[in-house]
Structure 1
């Protein structure tokens, strides 16, 4: 497994290079997502940060295009300066980490807001910088808040899956940190309940993005699957944990898909534990 220092350097590298755009812009929005010149003194119709945050939290995958358009318009209205956009990015990031289930929606919103820029501050770069900082100190994040640690892993991997450069490539600097984070979830040896919570989360993420991750880095996925098999054989792994891992292992062996009867078998088996 890669060392923390190596992983940190990889993620830190993400700020260099070309090709920082995205391919998808919500329907109805044309041209670069830059804040137009406004009268800073006119505060009457300006959105508040709380209003922008609440609207972000209401977004769903079912209505993501409409939600993203409304959120971007509100962010345009609020972000008069680069500092304002930094506040939006920080608030958005905190909300995302506080709720790991929101990470999927948050990544889609971030993709659509990626090129929004005010006074040289670009939304994508602000978010990536926050991710970089938390990855470097992920041991502290995990110790202080298991919920935020799980939210971080979800958001990191979902961003890797949906965010693209102008040339259509993934952000490769996020790839190694994603595998490092998943491995740490899988191999946790802390308190039994916390370790099981991390294991559950790892399985859930891999069920959703395992095929994508394998396509991006076969060697790293093979290492992760070896760690998974070792975890199954570990005497410290509960019967419940083994069932989760066995289902995931079979899923990966079958090309990341299971028939309904196999799913039902594992569901009944896991329920008994």
Structure 2
């Protein structure tokens, strides 16, 4: 069953947090002369004037490793400054993109957070080499290798698929449209899970999570492919070969689809939670 609200929206809780004025810091400000600040209890180091490229790379990795699921605007600005400082040439910006990509394809819980950070870094460019283009190239390379990735590690495959979904759901072209080149790859990855007789419950759970997040945009991009996929999902629910847990998860997808991908009501969500708990404890 999809985790309700997981990773949806940047900085959950930030709007509700009312910090005293003296506790708020801006880049370059420090009440004590120290260059350190905290966000959500995690130390965030500001970029020092004159920080070297290598220091910026190391500090960027430190910040990435210290991230929580909630990312504030200050943390986003800090990350952008570090990435910019670390990207003095084509090779550097490629390394920075690899750092970011590696971080957010290592754990699918961070897919949404990673997409917001990539949205912030999308404007980064050095000598005509763009962070956005490098990022999409890395996604494309892993998509082309999806069969091999999935055969070696289902977990790694789902991490990459989740990140790809969230990039699709978050980043937009200059005209405000979704990245159309990602539409067919996403459908192919979803169909790979549905077509296999060996897909596990975690794959169906990931399918549910991501469709509840990007289903509307994906359907609007290609309604025929969505309808074809729903036929497969209905067949999976009916077939005896699917586990009770898989059928419960797939039924939730169908219900979300029939509701136009609107958030399920609390009562419906509670029904799926209770049903899944019964299945798991039976």
**TM-score computed with the length of structure 2 as normaliser:** 0.76
Provide the residue aligned with 1:71 in structure 2: 79
User: Following superposition, which runs of at least 4 residues in structure 1 exceed 4 angstroms of deviation?
Assistant: 42-46
Instruction: Note if contact 1:100-1:154 (Cα within 8 Å) is conserved in structure 2.
Output: yes
**What stretches of structure 2 of length at least 5 have no aligned partner?**
1-26, 28-49
Q: How far is the alpha carbon of 1:61 from its aligned partner?
A: 5.7
Please list, as runs of the form range in 1=range in 2, the aligned pairs for 1:204-243 lying within 5 A after superposition. 204-243=209-248
Show structure 1 runs of 5+ residues with no match: 1-27, 29-41
Question: Residue 253 of structure 1 is aligned with which of 246, 258, 270?
Answer: 258
Give secondary structure in 2 for the equivalent of 1:203: helix
Equivalent runs, 1:36-55 vs 2, <5 Å: 44=52, 46-55=54-63
| Deviation at residue 176 of structure 1 after TM alignment | 0.9
Q: How big is the shift at 1:57?
A: 4.0
Q: How do 1:145-160 residues align onto structure 2 when only pairs under 5 Å count?
A: 145-160=153-168
Larger relative helix fraction: 1
**What corresponds to 1:6 in structure 2?**
none
Partner of 2:173: 165
Please tell me whether residue 269 in structure 1 is matched to residue 275 in structure 2: yes
Contact preservation (8 Å) 1:211, 1:255: yes
Match status 1:130 vs 2:138: yes
Aligned residues between the structures? 231
Higher RCO, Cα 8 Å, sep 6+: 1
TM, length-normalised to structure 1:
0.78
Aligned to 1:203: 208
> What residue in structure 1 maps to residue 184 of structure 2?
176
Q: Distance in 2 between matches of 1:160 and 1:222?
A: 19
Cα deviation code 1:96-147 (max 9, x no counterpart): 1111111111111111111211122210111111111111111111122222
- Residue 229 and residue 129 in structure 1: after superposition, are their counterparts in 2 closer, same or farther (change >3 A)? same
Tell me the distance in 1 between the aligned counterparts of 2:196 and 2:161: 14
RMSD between aligned residues: 2.1
